[in-house]
Amino acid sequence: MNKERVAELVKELLEEIGEDPSREGLLRTPERVAESLKFLTSGYDGNIEDIINNAVFKSHANNMIINRNIEVYSLCEHHVLPFFGTCHIGYIAQEKVIGVSKLARIVDFYARRLQIQERLTEQIAHEVMDAVGAEGVGVVMECQHLCMMMRGVEKQGSIMTTSSVLGSFRNDPSTRAEFMNLIK
């Protein structure tokens, strides 16, 4: 990302909406917005192998592993407004497990892009499945969307819930039910 170019575009945007980018409070705003966007869209940089960083380990565990309440922050691709909430990830290991912090890093890798919650949920589930060769994976996200809260329909209490279930989480209703019960 060319931060200088983005800062120039932000300056033009400020002028277009009727602001004066030379006033004291806005003097460094274009550069701050560019820096912020670089961080908030950092999921486009790098690759997932660097994120996982060989933190997949052999294990004889064949049980459900769950990481609940992973904070998630992303930007809606339709309005470029934040959505935020929690992500719950569960998987049944076959021969490998992944370092617990890597689950949160996978969430961040895909969330730090312009997104829709439905796709984000699916991307996380597939990545966990691929990383550990799990028997099954379940991902549930519960998020609030500022595009619904501060504009448009202005519904403050709405929470969008999405899920993606793969393998045994999709094929076995009792596995899926166990996961859903454990994340509540």
Q: Helix 3-16 vs helix 29-40: angle between axes, to the nearest 10 degrees? A: 120
**What structural domains does the chain harbor?**
3-40 (1.10.286.10), 54-183 (3.30.1130.10)
Give pLDDT tens digits for 89-110: 999 999 999 999 999 999 999 9
pLDDT in tens, 54-79: 999 999 878 999 999 999 999 999 99
Helix (H, G, I), strand (E, B) or coil at 179: helix
Q: What is the pLDDT of residue 62?
A: 82
Residue 61: its pLDDT value, please? 77
Rounded-to-integer distance, Cα 131 and Cα 181, Å? 25
- State the DSSP H helix or E strand holding residue 143, giving kind and residue range, or none if neither: strand 136-145
CA 99-100-103 angle, to 5 degrees, is: 100
- Residue 54 tokens read as 């060989």
